[in-house]
Structure 1
Amino acid sequence: MKTFTLFFLLLITLTLSAQTATIKGIVKNTDKKPIEGVSISYLNNGTTSNKNGEYQLNVPANFEVSILFSHISYKSLQKKINIPKNKTFRFSPTLSIKIEEISEVIVEDYTKDAEGIIKINTADISKIPGANQGVENILMTLPGVNNNNELSTQYNVRGGNFDENLVYVNGIEVYRPFLVRAGQQEGLSFVNGNMVQNVKFSAGGFQAKYGDKLSSVLDITYRVPQNYGVTLNTSLLGGSLTLEGISPSKKLSALIGIRYRNNSLFINSKDIQTNTNPNFTDVQAYLTYVINPKLKIDFLGNYSLNNYNYTPKTRRTKFGTIAEPLELIVYYNGQEKDKFKTSFGALKAGYSVNDNLNLSLTSSTYHTIEDEYYDILASYNIGEVNNDFASENFGEVEFSEGIGSQLNHARNSIDALIINTEFKANFKKNNHQIDFGIKYQNEDIRDQIKEWEIIDSVGFSVRPPDETVNNQPYEPFSGNLTPYKSIDTKNNVKIDRLVWFVQYSKNKNWNNHKIWYNIGLRSHNWNVNGEGLNTSNQIIYSLRGQFAIKPDWEKDMLFRFSGGMYNQPPFYKDLRDFNGNINTTVATQKSLQVVVGNDYSFNIWNRPFKLVSEVYYKNLSNVNTYTVDNVKIRYRANNNAEAYATGVDLRLNGEFVPGTESWVSIGFLKTEENYNNQGYIARPTDQRFKFGMLFQDYVPNIPNIKMYLNLVFNSGLPGGSPSYTNSFDYQNRLNAYKRADIGISYVFADNNNQHKTRWLKNVKEFALGFEIFNMFDVQNSITNTWVRDVYSKRFYGIPNYMTPRVLNIKMDLKF
């Protein structure tokens, strides 16, 4: 099948390559002198003029195309042509010198690079293939950003965990659900990719204005509509509808997004046979009203409802080795019903006092109600598989090594309300900038955890690992029957926070070298109280700074130095230990960080490229250790550890193919922790090596056929050990995570290809294509299911495989 597909695409390419024509000539200026380095392009295909101003370009025959001649020092020129098949059209344009003031643009771009911010092209958000398409899908291809669960939008950065990342939408911090324990339960990310205007990301060393987390910042800006438009995206996984418009008075603009997703295509393709209907829906609205040129009001609202109904039937998983193959066969009874309902609203008033001073006041409310109910009985059998190729029973289970059952029960619910008000001021004058902000936040969390697990092996109850050792079945055990795991708690916790920051930035010239620096101070005071809890009040300060220099060298290089104190005061999840009990005295986790970076911009094949290199080191104290099970994090709720993280991140991006941006990322990381002075061991996020590639291409003679390739390789994580075991006793690693997703589409219309006739004349963008997720069908696992056989005293770790190869068909349409 693969050979036939490749042959078919090659045949089409060769057939259409003959249906071309040629345009060539000499590009000159008004003085009749040839111009070197002029870009001559149509759609995503193009060439450049040589030192004599000569160029030659193949174009589709018998088809009207628009050729663009552009150069940084000259005014652009556009020429529409329609050339017969196998003919050559000579065209020698004259370009006029372009005179314009660009100093402000240079300062803006330089400052952005100096801050160590990665800016992501928003046009790629809906095009890059991935099981969870969106902004986070692109982040996974960046160095230092990892996640081995393609059904999750969560990510860890440079040795941190999922809870250590800041996410802002239009300057408002957003939160994730509390009870989600598996990626397949998550559904939709808060960020709606069709509403995004700007995406900025920092993997460390960020400014004081960004907040109190240890790892990263994702800063999203939604766009303000300038005209009417409708965007429709549909696929086998669901769809989205985005409406935008502006009032006749130009004062009120509205951007509304509706999304629906169903993960059945992925879940029903796994080795567990189920009846499941996981569906996720959300509605977002961004409204802007301009009262007068100085005052405007913004509203951002979101409502999401995630239903996860799961009824497993059977499971058959082969594991072991070629010499000793085993198979786990499980029969299930029961079901799981989860519901995650979230509402969010924020009102922001922005006032421009003058050209130098801007003020804003924002008030937001986040409310989530989450229910997790399940009763699932699993009866399992572990058997030896016949590995004799000559046998009629090859691949069948011949001998059972372990028989048992497992019963899981939960009635968990959480009701969380977070309200805050924030004032910010921004003052700019000449090359100076001062930012100030103060925020008050109240968190009201009402949580109930009632879950237990009973394990039976060949008729003997398996007791908790920390209880008295028994020698069943060789010796009788007279103790009470207790579940393997049992939690029954109710918590009502309230947290008040007062946060402020102030920072100063400046850019200047020093002996023709460009310099930018920033220094900032943050303060975070919080108070924890609740029913039956001791009140705790704490305060911390964070001092941070950044420095960048762009030398006046022939080579375009920029050097960055950043770091300081990065603290993370405890959120509700950090206060809750393995047994669901609240420890109000949990202190802030502290980190001293240093990041040294270099940006090197250069040209290869007369096309722009950029190499970004960063070396970082984090020294962490007061560490609140945790375990990770799929995407659920459980904290010890103490500060009895110290840790460190160090590594190197490299990213090369540029036009590997003319007119497109692709990149390759490589990351090396080592992070370890020392709990209670027992010695350093790998942290749960110790992902030593990461390789990511995002590659875009098109068929040269049919540029409307686009291809997007997303490759990720992550070395194995520590983990897969039984729950509640001593991590110092289990330091095995899971297998490496390998994944390749590809998307191919045909673009009928876009900004460079507009139609004036037929039904496409009213269409701004229209593309139809398909995606293959995990196209090499690699069996990746993120956790192990541990099954115990009391009789043989053996534990079996059966891998829980992620999604296999899946085909998806999609359509993108914009009016």
Structure 2
Amino acid sequence: MLSFSQTAIVRGVILDEGNTPIENVNIKASTGEGTATNSNGFYELKIPYGVEVTVVFTHISHERIEQKFLLKNGQELEFNPMMLLEVEQISTVVINTNTRLKVEGVTSISPQMLRTIKGAQPGVENILKTLPGVNISNELSTQYSVRGGNFDENLVYVNEIEVYRPFLIRSGNQEGLSFVNTDLVHNVDFSAGGFQAKYGDKLSSVLDITYRNPVDFGLKADLSLLGGSLAAETVSKDGKFSGIAGVRYRDNSLLLNSLETEGNVEPVFADAQTFLTYRFTSKFHVNFLGNISLNKYNFQPENRQTNFGTISDPVALLVFYEGQEKDEYQTYFGALKANYFINENLTLKLIGSAYQTTEQEYFDILAQYRLGEVNTNIGDEDLGEVEFSEGIGSQLTHARNDLDAFIVNVEHRGDYKIDEESTLEWSVKYTNEDIRDRLVEYEIIDSAGFSIRPPRFSQPNNQPYESFSGPLTAYENIRALNRVSIDRFQAFVQYSKSTDWNGSEVFYNAGLRTHSWSVSGDVESSKTQTVFSPRAQFAIKPNWEKDVLFRIAGGLYYQPPFYRELRDSTGTVQPDVKAQQSYHIVLDNEQSFEIWDRPFKLVIEGYYKGMTDVNPYTLENVRIRYSADNNAKAYAYGLDLRLNGEFVPGTESWFSFGYLKTEENIDDRGYIARPTDQRLKFGALFQDYVPNMPDLKMYLNLVYNTGVPGGSPSYADPYDYQIRLRDYRRADLGISYQAVNPERTYNAKWKKSVKELSIGFEIYNMFNNQNSITNTWVRDVYSKAQYAIPNYLTPRVFNLRLSARF
């Protein structure tokens, strides 16, 4: 059994009144563990998890400090007390993180788990997909939907700074790296609904990331067949400056070359990211968060063969390609955050950030296809080949899409601790979004020698009985040039209180958000729209023998339109689109208990979301196209369950189950399934190790999702196409050996110079399931029927990995 996986870590820097590090501070835990600060005032103390531990800080010339901690398995907490020469010691309060997260309905993910559990798309999203209510049915994408929402309905924060995604990406193949660099992460919190007013205006979820402030020099490297990463952290001798930075490189050729479409593919993604802190005084700190990302996707398809149908009636689609696709996405992000700790009760913050993205999507691809019967005669030389063509045709797609967006934010945040149980938080924020967009796309479809016109083309065609003199028209033709500026003013205030009620612990939170925005530019200026969003939470932990918590949360949530939601299917900006509205009701029950003398927790959540002023959309792979018209209403309800704990001593695993139903009613035509109506979901994240060889570890990442509606041909009525994709089934296995364990002492010289070293291999899609994300629609020239040809995702793929920390 591994001792390091059964502990939590408290670390930090101890300074005196003059902000000078204090050396040789004795640090002793009530459970026997002890350490001392180094010449820079830094310390790191490992303590048992799951029990309350009292830690005492003593020094010959400074006042004694005593603090209690209750941490969970693998949790790392930064605690930076100030030791005074005076007798009156300022007490330093540490919030019990576990209690706070439980009452707020937040799921916390261990940073160590993020760095250990890899996948085809490693990062935070790889862990999120195993949680109930979170659906990811495309391992090539980092985008996720939560409880019936779409990819645009999720908030992501890093150190209280909102981050953004590129706009034009239409396929998971084109996606590169998640914004979040797991090597820099200190804490990950996730809420799937009913979140507080301090978070922004989206309808589905919040991912709240905290990057860490390092306390010593460190270097970490990771290398695999899919790319690599390097992270470094350091701190100055006086403890005033600390910084952590990481660079990542990823080449998805290993994954994309396994797809059924053959060709030359060059998917290269790289980024550099840093988080810096400078402590001018003990009361005034400044942080800088920066990121530069470059994504390039070049593709020259050659051919493709997809077999589908039944065993008795197999059908194949054979496609030959000419042309190429060249996509490029460059993003630059920088943010400054000033923290002013006026006293132990009042903190004021000023945050300024800027985000720029320049994106291009260029392609000219001619696809000529044959749809026909497949030779099934065993032993025949032509086994598996198309023998008889039922349909022939071609498709020419063209795009010259460019987008340049610049987003600036200025925000003041504050929090005031009224007393030991009550906190008041507030914020005022201004945002300007300046977006320049050129959209040029067309698609020409030819079937059996005839150019197919779009269904919306109104001019009658009575060929061959009458000659047709109308112009040739592309099946799809979109041309738009937009320059849009959006000004936003946001504010919130919220009050939180924890108290005792007849022996039971009670927590409640109430807050109000407001959001005003207006659209201007090369469009008719919109009227200023304003919405108000009240939200509340209430939790009670009864004074029972069992550790049980009940929680109810809800409120009125709005999603004012972002640029993509203003642009309709023809590329035209509709400036008067209203905010989508939803009210949330979330009921939660958490039970903590022990099995086999090890901690476990069962979380059960039921939820309902009623939505009005819905902006309908179509979903193809990861591309969302809105109608830019608030002409629908919708609902979503479901049940989420998660059981997590130490199924294997010293490791954390969980099993989750989710049921979801979400439907929409467009123009009062009746309710149909929304594009993200993923009814059933099962996820599991399981960790284990060999008892006699604990350095040999494994993880198993399992996901099963029932199929979502598979989309429809262009211009088709969604009420006529409710066919679902096949169920998504995937299992990823990782096995690693820790050649150097940081908890052990080695005699070998090379092992002494390395803090940690592990090697391993991974099997993605272990059972080689054929999953699909979209359909390609082709016509049978004889029956005039359209076939939905599945576009399959990655098959079984093997990967090797090497990780080291110095």
TM-score, structure 2 as length reference: 0.89
Q: 2:152 aligns with which of 157, 163, 166?
A: 163
Using a 3 Å threshold, how does the CA distance of structure 1 residues 772 and 294 change in structure 2: closer, same or farther? same
1:492 aligns with 2:483: yes
Q: How big is each residue's C-alpha offset from its partner over 1:192-251, in whole Å with a ceiling of 9 and x where there is no partner?
A: 000000000000000000010000000000001111011000000000010110111211
Query: 1:643 pairs with 634, 640, 648, which one?
Result: 634
User: What is the aligned partner in structure 1 of residue 259 from structure 2?
Assistant: 270
- Residue 676 of structure 2, aligned match among 685, 707, 710: 685
Of 694, 707, 710 in structure 2, the residue corresponding to residue 716 of structure 1 is 707
Matches within 5 A, 1:371-390: 371-389=360-378
Give RMSD over aligned pairs. Answer: 1.9
Residue by residue, what CA displacement relative to the aligned partner does 1:368-396 show, whole Å, maximum 9, x if unpaired? 00000000001111120022336453322
Q: Structure 1 residues 77 and 258, CA, compared in 2 at 3 Å: closer, same or farther?
A: closer
SS in 2 for 1:733: coil
Letter matched to residue 531 of structure 1: D
SS of equivalent to 1:138: helix
Measured after TM superposition, the shift of residue 175 of structure 1 is 0.5
Alpha-carbon distance in 2 for matches of 1:183, 1:549 = 42
Deviations 1:516-575 (A, max 9, x none): 000000010001111142333100000000000001101100001000011000000000
Extract unaligned runs of 5+ from structure 2: 8-28, 36-51, 56-66, 70-92
Deviation at 1:756, TM superposition (A): 4.6
Whole-Å Cα distance in 2 between the matches of residues 356 and 620 of structure 1?
39
For 1:774, the equivalent position in structure 2 comes to 765
**1:249 aligns with one of 238, 246, 249:** 238
CA contact (8 A) 1:458 1:789 kept: no
- In the other structure, the counterpart of 2:408 is 419
**Structure 2 CA distance, aligned partners of 1:713 and 1:133?**
18
- Contact kept in structure 2, 1:433 and 1:505, CA below 8 Å: yes
Q: Distance in 1 between matches of 2:617 and 2:167?
A: 15
Assess if the C-alpha contact under 8 Å between 1:44 and 1:703 holds in 2: no
Return the alpha-carbon distance in structure 1 between the equivalents of residues 745 and 453 of structure 2: 69
Which residue of 1 is the match for residue 696 of structure 2?
Answer: 705
Deviation at 1:700, TM superposition (A): 1.0
Aligned 1:795-814 pairs, distance under 5 A: 795-814=786-805
Which of 470, 485, 488 is matched with 1:479 structurally? 470
Alpha carbons 1:454, 1:483 under 8 Å: kept: yes
**How far has the Cα of 1:41 moved from its partner?**
6.4
Native 8 Å contact 1:284 1:303 kept in 2: yes
- TM-score, normalisation: structure 1: 0.88
Aligned equivalent of 2:548, options 557, 568, 571: 557
Q: How far 1:465 moved relative to its partner?
A: 2.0
Q: Which of 206, 215, 230 is the matching residue for 1:226?
A: 215
In structure 2, the partner of 1:410 is 399
Q: Is 1:601 matched with 2:592? A: yes
For 1:367, the equivalent position in structure 2 comes to 356
Match of 2:324 in 1: 335
Kindly indicate whether the alpha-carbon contact (under 8 Å) linking 1:404 and 1:789 is maintained by their aligned counterparts in 2. Answer: no
CA distance in 2, matches of 1:707, 1:316: 36
Is contact 1:616-1:648 (8 Å) kept? yes
1:116 to 2:105 alignment: yes
Q: Is the 8 A contact 2:336 2:351 kept in 1?
A: yes
Corresponding position: 1:198 with 2:187: yes
Counterpart check, 1:143 vs 2:107:
no
Mapped partners of 1:187, 1:132: distance in 2: 9
Deviations 1:7-43 (A, max 9, x none): xxxxxxxxxxxxxxxxxxxxxxxxxxxxxxxxx9646
Range with greater deviation from structure 2 (435-444 or 714-723): 714-723
Q: Residue type of the partner of 2:434?
A: D
Taking the aligned partners of 1:752 and 1:442, their CA distance within structure 2 comes to 50
CA 1:475–1:231 in structure 2 vs 1: closer, same or farther (change >3 Å)? farther
Question: Equivalents in 2 of 1:472, 1:105: separation in Å?
Answer: 80
Aligned residue type for 1:720: G
CA offsets per residue over residues 301-354 of structure 1, 9 Å max, x none?
100010000110111111111111111111111000001000000011000000
| 1:507 maps to 2:498 | yes
1:525 matched residue in structure 2 = 516
Indicate conservation of the 8 Å contact 2:374/2:386, yes or no: yes
Q: Distance in 1 between matches of 2:523 and 2:494?
A: 40
Contact 1:129–1:708 under 8 Å retained in 2? no
Equivalent residue, structure 1, for 2:457: 467
Note if contact 1:44-1:658 (Cα within 8 Å) is conserved in structure 2: no
2:427 to 437, 441, 444: 437
Amino acid at match of 1:110: T
Mapped partners of 1:288, 1:214: distance in 2: 33
Question: Once the two structures are superposed, what CA deviation does each residue of 1:719-761 show, in whole Å capped at 9, x if it has no partner?
Answer: 2321221110111100000000000000012332343532010
Is residue 201 of structure 2 the alignment partner of residue 212 of structure 1? Answer: yes
Contact 2:3-2:650 within 8 A present in 1 as well: no
1:456 to 2:431 alignment: no
Q: 2:730 aligns with which of 736, 739, 754?
A: 739
Whole-Å separation in 2 of the counterparts to 1:755 and 1:246: 27
Shift of 1:765: 1.3
Structure 2 residue matching 1:184: 3-state secondary structure = helix
Following the alignment from structure 1 to structure 2, what is the Cα–Cα distance between the partners of residues 347 and 544?
29
3-state SS of the aligned residue for 2:416?
Answer: strand
Deviation at 1:473, TM superposition (A): 6.9
Q: 1:235 aligns with which of 224, 227, 232?
A: 224
AA matched with 2:131:
L
Provide the rounded CA distance (Å) in 2 between the counterparts of 1:105 and 1:783: 49
Instruction: Name which of structure 1's ranges 692-701 and 717-726 shifts more when overlaid on structure 2.
Output: 717-726
Q: Give the number of aligned pairs.
A: 733
Q: Which moved more, 1:782-791 or 1:204-213?
A: 782-791
CA distance in 1, matches of 2:748, 2:467: 86
Aligned with residue 664 of structure 1, among 640, 647, 655: 655
> Residue 704 of structure 1 contacts residue 746 of structure 1 at CA under 8 Å; is this kept in 2?
yes
- 1:289 paired with 2:257, answer no
Task: Choose which of 616, 620, 636 in structure 2 pairs with 1:629.
Answer: 620
> What is the Cα deviation at residue 423 of structure 1?
0.2
SS class of match (2:198): helix
Mapping for residues 321-332 of structure 1, pairs under 5 Å: 321-332=310-321
Give secondary structure in 2 for the equivalent of 1:536: coil
Letter aligned with residue 324 of structure 1: D
Q: How is 1:31-110 mapped onto 2 (pairs within 5 angstroms)?
A: 42=3, 75=32, 102=68, 107-110=96-99
How far apart, CA to CA, are the structure 2 residues paired with 1:252 and 1:42?
Answer: 32
Q: How far apart are the structure 2 equivalents of 1:251 and 1:448? A: 47
The correspondence for 2:123, drawn from 134, 158, 162, is: 134
Contact 2:390–2:781 (CA<8 Å) still a contact in 1?
A: no
User: Aligned equivalents of 2:258 and 2:326: distance in 1?
Assistant: 20
Query: Structure 1: which amino acid aligns with 2:364?
Result: D
Confirm or deny: 8 A CA contact 1:472 1:790 kept in the other structure. Answer: no
Provide closer, same or farther for how the CA distance between residues 474 and 299 of structure 1 changes in structure 2, counting only shifts above 3 A. farther
Q: Deviations over 1:777-805 (max 9, x none)?
A: 11100101111234431212111000111
| Structure 1 alignment gaps of length 5 or more | 1-39, 47-71, 79-96
CA offsets per residue over residues 687-717 of structure 1, 9 Å max, x none?
A: 0000000000011111111001000000000
Aligned to 1:35: none
CA drift at 1:466 = 2.1
Change beyond 3 A, Cα 1:195–1:612: same
CA 1:802–1:527: 2 relative to 1, 3 Å: same
What secondary structure is seen at the aligned counterpart in 1 of 2:102? helix
